[in-house]
Each structure stands twice: as structure tokens, then as C-alpha cells.
Chain A
């Protein structure tokens, strides 16, 4: 008889403790009376216009003058305007201006003219496009824009349509990294599939570290760059399904890297048209996202190999893990193989 009574007493005690803990937990609710004050945002001077001011400071350890200590003191202003009309047509335009005071604060005479021209001040038009739909299954987007191909956020394999701002490698904001180009883009939707033909009407190339700059070790300035004003073309076909998606790409565009044509009297940096076929795939499994990209390029030329044209195969494997709260772990690996490089390079000698 004694044992059941003890059990009962113990259960009662546990029950009382639980009730007490629950009561304490329930006290955690905020019993403040509801604040009915309107917190509407103040209206803007011009609807759709937003801006951003950024101040960037860069400091360098163990570097030679004039690139020691503070190497950048850059003030930037970004203005962005976008408007969507009732009929669904949207226009967007944004521009960025910056001034880096460090060159004046140090001695401008210590820097090359190429460095000052490239890094001291700039006004740049970024996005400038109009988009809308022609039919329920056909969209258009015309103007300066960024089109991102591929799945990787870190390494570019099939993402070749927009050049990059590489003047200060790894120090450019991700939103300013890709340079928009003017193109005519159509999107045709059928079921899960999207077919996107593009005509690229502005040919521009990546901005590289200037001669004499902190990130350019070459002891002579590169030759001036050839200009191109013809139209190039690209096509993407892709589909999204539950748990996976796939894209196929084809393009005939200018090679962004280019090469120095030494056959001319005055050497010139030239870019030849290159054909690319590629694919990208995402597969989702629980907290894991597997990514792969494959690209085949044909018609590549290099400074060291003259008029010899090469083909190249790039392959990417990547994985993202999202199984830890508020954390994303991503790892991408790429292999790049130039076909017959040694054989063709030696045939020149």
C-alpha cells in the first residue's frame, strides 16, 4: 500500500512542477497594449527613386609605396529608378558614381595615368532596360542588363554573357561585379520549359587591373583594345521540376579574355568570336543541393600561340549544405582542359 501512495505523491509533485514551469513560460507573453500608431513610411520625393551612399576603406599590409597602408578611400553614390506601369511594363535604370580620395591624399604623381583613369573616379550606367510581355507566354527585356547563366555563385563556367569588373579583384561588391550589356532578350514559356533567345548588341569586355596598379604585376602596359560593334547571339533552354532543374546553353560571342595580336604593325588586344555549348543542372536532396555545369568552347586563341585556335572543356561540380540553422556551406570545384594545347603550342616552334 505504501509504494502506490509514494508513486502518487511523486506524480503529483511532477505535475505541480510542470504546471509551475508552464505558468512561468506563459508569463513570457508580451501583455503590452497594442500600439495602433501608424508606422507608414514617409513618401519619397520621386516615387520609385532610391539611392545608396557607400564609403569604402581598404588597408594593405606589407606592400610597397604607394600601395602601403590605406589604399582606397572610395565614396560612392548609387541612384536607382524603377517604375511598373499598370499594363505590367517595367522600366529600370541605375547609375553609380564614385570618387576615391586616396590618390589626392597621397601624391597623384606616384600613380600611373592608367591607374588614375581606371580607379580615381567614374560615372557608370548600370541597368537601363524596359521589360514586359507580348503574350501570356512571351516576355521581352530590352536594354542594358545582366543575364546570369549557370548554377555556381562563385566560379563562372557557363556564365559568360556579362563581363566583370576585376579592377580590384575580390574587392568589388557582388552587385557591381557583373557589367550589364545591351541586349534584346525574349523568354518563351511552354509548360515547365523556358526558351530564351538573345541578341547582344553591345560588345564590352571585363575591366582588368590597370597598368602600374596594385593588382597588375606586368612591367609594360597592354596594347589598346580593338572595338567591336556587330551583333552576337545566345540561346538558353531550361526547365524546372520538383527537386531538380536543368538548362542548356549555346552562344556565339566574343571571347572576354582576348589575346594580343602580334602580327599587326602595332600590337592590338583582340577578341575573336567563340562558340560555346553548355549545360547546368541542380538536384535537391534534403539539406543538400548538388550543382553541375559543363561548357565546351571552340575557337579560343591565346597570346602565346598566335593564330592557333583551341577548344576547351570546363566542368564544375558543386554542393551546398543547408542543414545547419542560418548557415550555408558551399563548395565548388572546376576542372578546365584545353584540348591539344601542348601539341599545337610546340608545332609553332
Chain B
């Protein structure tokens, strides 16, 4: 099981909003997700079957914030290529069923994966409404033997026209740190960072 929690410090309209997700390895089991809404002053459980919606108004969706289940996709090697000067593979993944399409909002994804570290550096996510979402990892670094992302962007386009773009920056990343399970609880969600 993967667990994630996010706390929002700014802007002021989302300050103290917090998000907690339990992403189960069993693909048939729905994730558990909760939001702490400071305006309502309560933790609210949210249905998670459709993750295609925008995550906090950004171009990233709830689906983009969770790990993909590989067994939900068929993969096809397209070609060898280069990305940011590094050798890479271009691989197409197609959802095996309508449930995955509905859950993700994507009908197909073309990913460019660096050969030296197996990190997906770029991806084009095709949507039903003829829009495409371009994921682009701009900065990564290796920390204690693990590749971690410093900056990534998601750009929504229709044709060649850019509709919207979000940039996600990471800092103060720590790896291989012992974390107590209690950190990932609704109790901690209410208390803020």
C-alpha cells in the first residue's frame, strides 16, 4: 500500500487544506481518500473511483498523484529516442478496459523513459475530449542512490494551443527516513504541518 499526504500552506484560499490517500496494491480495491477542509473544519472522505478530476485546481489530476497499476495497461515499444540528451525508450500504454479509462481520464499514454535510470521523463496523456496533457520532468537528482524529482510540469493543450500549465516543485526531500504510520492518519490531517 502506498500512502501520501499533502498539506497546503498557500495561497490563502486553500491554506490548511490537507489531502490523505491510501493507494492499495490490490487494483480491484478502491483507494481511501480524505480531505481536511478548513472552511468546514472537518475531515471529509471523498469517493476515489474517478480520479480524472483536477487536483486542487491544477493540471495534475488525482490520478496523476497516485501510482499506476501496471496490470491495467497493455504496453507497446515504439522506438529508441533521446530526451534532454539522454538515451531513452518511447513506450505506448493503452488501458485494458473502460474502467481504467474512466478512472484516469486518459485513453492512451506515450511515455519517454530514460534508459540509464528508468525514470519517465516525459509523457503525453491523451484525453477523450481531444485534449492532451504533457507531463515533463525538468529537474531530477540522485539522492542516496534514489532518483528524485525536483521539478515537473503538466501542460494541457488542445491541438497546438496551450490551455493551462501547472508546475510542481519539490524541495527539502528526504529519502530512506523512518516514518511512523500514524503520520498518515486523519488525526494528523487535522493538525496541519
Contact = CB atoms under 8 A, between A and B. Distances in A.
B49 A323 contact: yes
B38 A175 contact: yes
Nearest to B122: A29
A305 B50 CA distance: 51
B52 interface: yes
A325 B104 CA distance: 10
Contacts, number: 98
Interface residues of A, number: 47
A136 B188 CA distance: 12
B124 A30 contact: no
Contacts of B157: 28
Contacts of B105: 325
A146 B41 contact: yes
Interface string A127-140: 00001000010010
Contacts of B30: 243, 284-286
Interface string B29-45: 11010000011111011
B138 interface: yes
A326 B46 contact: no
B134 A29 contact: yes
Contacts of A337: none
B41 A50 contact: no
Contacts of A71: none
B47 A131 contact: no
**Chain B contact surface mostly:** mixed
Nearest to A146: B41
Nearest to A173: B39
Contact of A148 (B40, B45, B53): B40
A284 B30 CA distance: 8
B40 A153 contact: yes
Interface in A75-109: 82, 84, 90
A322 B30 CA distance: 13
Contact of B136 (A30, A131, A174): A30
A321 B46 CA distance: 10
B178 interface: no
B4 to A, nearest CB: 16
B46 A30 contact: no
Contacts of A82: 192
Nearest to A162: B41
Interface of A: 22, 25-30, 34, 41, 50, 52, 82, 84, 90, 131, 136, 139, 146-148, 153, 173-175, 178, 187, 189, 194, 240, 242-243, 245, 282, 284-289, 320-327
5 contacts: A174-B40, A242-B22, A322-B48, A322-B49, A325-B105
Given A178-B41, A189-B187, 13 more contacts: A25-B124, A28-B157, A50-B12, A90-B191, A136-B182, A194-B187, A243-B32, A284-B47, A285-B30, A286-B30, A325-B53, A326-B53, A326-B54
